[in-house]
Each structure stands twice: as C-alpha cells, then as structure tokens.
Amino acid sequence: MNTDETKVVVVPCSGIGKPFGSVSREAAYDLCDELRPGKTRLVALAKLVTGEATAQELIRRHPAVTIDGCKQMCAAKMVRQSGGTVAHEVAVLDVFRRHKDLKPEGIAELNEAGQKLARVLAEEVAERLDGLEQAAKGVSHV
C-alpha cells in the first residue's frame, strides 16, 4: 500500500494575533510532528487561500482535519472551497469549554495553560484519526 494514500491533511486556523488561533496551530504541530507523524501532513491555510498548487492537490487527494480558532471556521470552509473533504473538524472553543481551567493567553508564545489546551486538542484529534483509520479498515469501534 502506498503510505502517501493514507495521509490525512491537517489544516489549522491562521488566526494570527488571537490566542485560540495560536492554540489551533500548536495543536496541529503536536499532531503532525509528535502524535501522528507519517500519517498526517500539515498544510497552512494561507496556501489554500492563495491557491498554491501543491496545497490544493493535497487537499483534493486526501481527507482533511481542520482545527479552527473561532466560529467562522475558515479552515473548514477553505478546504471545502478548494475541493477537499473534511473528515473531521474541530473548534478550539468547543475543546476549551470542556477544559475551562486551560485558558490560553499570549499570542507569539502561549502560556502554559494554552500549551496544555493545544496538547489536549491534539490528543483528541489523534484518537479521532485512529477511529477513522479503523473504520476505513472495516474494524468496528464501539
């Protein structure tokens, strides 16, 4: 099996200047670099917005996970507008509501709570990816 065919593209929010946008990007880095390397591929939202050919092709060929920092859900919208399929979309605010003790602060550098929130989010997405992979293989996940 071609391992490239099993990759999931991860598109985080680009909410520059917003703590929840920073959480989105940190979670995507954790997911792609540490939790599921080799199974995920990070694509910057800006590359989709500008129509960069390689990013567009990746989005069209692979399922995507989007991680958005606000209710506008720009990453999810842009993946769909680019002809991609969103296999799972996550809103940082939804994860924060379940973990209100992890209030992110800072922009260029998140505080410790923001880093922890990003890690919790990344771990939740990693589990979801494992479930999607098992479903694709025909294994029931109860």
Q: What does the pLDDT look like over 12-30, one tens digit per residue?
A: 998 888 999 999 999 999 9
DSSP letters, 91-127, are EHHHHHHH-TT-----SSS--HHHHHHHHHHHHHHHH
pTM assigned to the model: 0.89
In tens, the pLDDT along 36-46 reads 999 999 999 99
Query: What letter would DSSP give residue 15?
Result: -
Q: Please list the pLDDT of the chain residue by residue as tens digits (142 residues).
A: 334 555 899 999 988 889 999 999 999 999 999 999 999 999 999 999 999 999 999 999 999 999 999 999 999 999 999 999 999 999 999 999 999 999 999 978 999 999 999 999 999 999 999 987 777 776 544 4
Tokens standing for residue 77? 């919208």
CATH class of 3-136: alpha beta
Within a 10 A sphere around the Cβ of 81, how many other Cβ atoms?
11
Residue 129 buriedness (CB in 10 A; 0-12 / 13-18 / 19+): buried
